[in-house]
Amino acid sequence: MDYRTGQRIVAETARRTESRYGNRPTMKDVAARAGVGLKTVSRVVNGEPGVTPDTERRVQEAIDALGFRRNDSARVLRKGRTASIGLVLEDLADPFYGPLSRAVEEVARAHGALLINGSSAEDPDREQELVLALCARRVDGLVIIPAGDDHRYLEPEIKAGVATVFVDRPAGQIDADVVLSDSFGGARDGVAHLIAHGHRRIGFIGDMPRIHTSAERLRGYRAAMEDAGIPVEDAWMSLGVTDPQRVRKAAEDMLSGPSPVTAIFAGNNRVTVTAVRVIAEGSRPVALVGFDDIELADLLQPGVTVVAQDAAQLGRTAAERLFRQLDGSLVLPERIELPTRLITRGSGELPPSD
């Protein structure tokens, strides 16, 4: 008995010492100070009815005096919903994802939710790790730009009620909502545009074909070439390169081989930027169409013709669908494909140089 009492005093002292820094007032503290019950504080904090103005004022004063802030962790534990959603993308530093993320955030905000986001760095393991960490935090929903191609690990989560929407690329091995740009159609149109301007030897530089958008764009390229009856040479295609040096090498190779290309179709914004550089350094004009719009593209000489997708619209559409899942107004997974838009600015309209 003495021993236990001693223990308690030690614990109490430790707690009090620590409380100067790191312990926050709780509703109980507020209640004690205001001389009311715990639940009354809860009512005031949440704006529930049934509190006299006088009582409310006393409680409010105590709240202000103590600097009380409701602990949402406890609230979540009780209520079950966190009012937060997770966004997993590839790299927030990529200018394509900034507007997308912002759009998701705005929709979340309109629904009173916060956004937690993480970058997968195009690594499937890291994607899974992130997604599961978000699930452990009990986000209400997930917007995922997948890096991996197997999302069966999400099945228990989805079954448990986590709303899920995939963006930019479809989910692997599971049936889920997907919002995509029309990569195939966009690429086909872009390449057809080059063909229409007289090109026949057209290069394609894209990311790894295991990435759905890359594969689709490659398919679009092939389709356009085939439609025009042009056989594609292997030397015209570079797949899986994305870092500037290797893109540079790939572009230089296609421009200098035995049957050099007269035009390049760039599979994404980063490739486009590097391609612009390589072409600008070369002496002869090379036509270029890029997938994804890039800033200042209109100010270059010539302006860069692009197949633009609306990143913000992609994010908005996905987030709205997510919240409709949460409302319960959605039942069956769907695949939504947003159109792309060819923006001609000059580089895609250059005639072949030979």
Residues of the shown chain interacting with its own copies in the complex, contacts defined by CB under 8 A: 21-24, 67, 69-74, 76-77, 80, 82, 84, 91-95, 97-99, 101-102, 105, 109, 114-119, 132-138, 155-157, 159-161, 273, 276-277, 280, 294-297, 299-301, 312
Q: Can you say whether residue 232 is alpha, beta or left, with left for phi > 0 and alpha for psi between -120 and 50 degrees?
A: beta
Contact 115, 87 (CB under 8 A): yes
Beta strands 263-266 and 202-206, pairing class: parallel
Which residues here bind DNA, judged by CB under 7 A?
4, 7, 23-24, 26-28, 31, 35-40, 42-43, 45-46, 49-52, 54-55, 68, 70-71, 74-75, 77-79
Supply the minimum distance, in Å, between the C-beta of residue 278 and its own copies. Answer: 11
| Partner from its own copies, DNA, none contacting 45, C-beta within 5 to 8 A by type | DNA
| Partner from DNA, its own copies, none contacting 295, C-beta within 5 to 8 A by type | its own copies
Q: Which of 336, 287, 297, 345 is nearest to 165 (CA)?
A: 336
Query: CA separation (Å) from 211 to 48, 76, 184, 214, 271?
Result: 50, 37, 13, 5, 15
Nearer to DNA, 105 or 140 (CB): 140
Nearer to DNA, 10 or 280 (CB): 10
Supply the minimum distance, in Å, between the C-beta of residue 85 and its own copies. Answer: 11
3-state secondary structure of 335: strand
Q: Which of 150, 147, 91 is nearest to 124 (CA)?
A: 147
| Partner from DNA, its own copies, none contacting 230, C-beta within 5 to 8 A by type | none
Nearer to its own copies, 161 or 351 (CB): 161
Nearer to its own copies, 75 or 219 (CB): 75
How open is the CA angle 300-291-349, to the nearest 5 degrees? Answer: 55
Q: Which of 77, 52, 64 is nearest to 43 (CA)?
A: 52
| Partner from its own copies, DNA, none contacting 102, C-beta within 5 to 8 A by type | its own copies
Contact 31, 24 (CB under 8 A): no
Nearer to its own copies, 70 or 219 (CB): 70
Nearer to its own copies, 157 or 207 (CB): 157
For tokens 């494909």, name the residue. Answer: 337
